[in-house]
């Protein structure tokens, strides 16, 4: 299957029940055989709520600076060119840094189970600069 894509008809604001702040999703491949592909653009400070994926998720960071956090661990920096594998059932969140936009392509495998909002305290514990750069 070849997907010819023009961004005009596929973009939609992210659902407030699943995201904090403003984010726009651009549906590249709607649910097909349990796979969904979206390019998401997060405004500064925007992030997903905590969630899991039935069969895992792959993120490819396109531009900007972002964060990802697995439950029980410290948030980690995301930068252009990074690829992330999130194993099945792993509770996590991801989004933009506090002062930067983030665009990533997400390949979600199986059903997504959404949970509670990431608290301001959880988000504030994230690194606010790219490693190797000063604030």
Q: How far, rounded to the nearest angstrom, does the alpha carbon of residue 76 sit from its chain's CA centroid? A: 13
Mean pLDDT of the chain: 88
Query: What pLDDT, on the 0 to 100 scale, is given for residue 9?
Result: 59
* Residue 68 within any structural domain of the chain: yes
* Residue 70 within any structural domain of the chain: yes
User: What's the whole-number mean pLDDT along residues 37-52?
Assistant: 96
What CA dihedral angle connects 112, 69, 67 and 84, to 10 degrees?
A: -60
The answer to whether residue 131 scores a pLDDT higher than 70 is no
Name the 3-class secondary structure at 20.
strand
Q: How far, rounded to the nearest angstrom, does the alpha carbon of residue 64 sit from its chain's CA centroid? A: 12
Count of structural domains, the chain:
1
* Residue 131 within any structural domain of the chain: no
* Residue 133 within any structural domain of the chain: no
pTM of the model: 0.86
Domain enclosing residue 120, as ranges: 10-124
* Residue 90 within any structural domain of the chain: yes
Ranking 69-73, 106-110, 119-123 by mean pLDDT, the lowest is 119-123
């Amino acid at each position: 299957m070849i997907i010819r894509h023009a961004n005009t008809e596929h973009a939609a604001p992210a659902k407030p029940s699943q995201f904090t702040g403003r984010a726009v999703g651009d549906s590249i491949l709607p649910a097909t055989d349990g796979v969904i592909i979206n390019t998401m653009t997060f405004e500064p400070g925007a992030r997903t709520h905590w969630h899991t994926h039935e069969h895992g998720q792959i993120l490819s960071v396109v531009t900007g600076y972002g964060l990802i956090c697995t439950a029980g661990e410290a948030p980690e920096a995301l930068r252009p060119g990074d690829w992330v594998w999130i194993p099945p059932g792993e509770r996590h969140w991801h989004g933009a840094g506090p002062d930067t936009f983030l665009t990533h392509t997400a390949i979600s495998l199986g059903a997504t189970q959404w949970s509670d909002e990431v608290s301001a305290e959880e988000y504030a514990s994230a690194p606010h600069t790219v490693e190797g750069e000063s604030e």
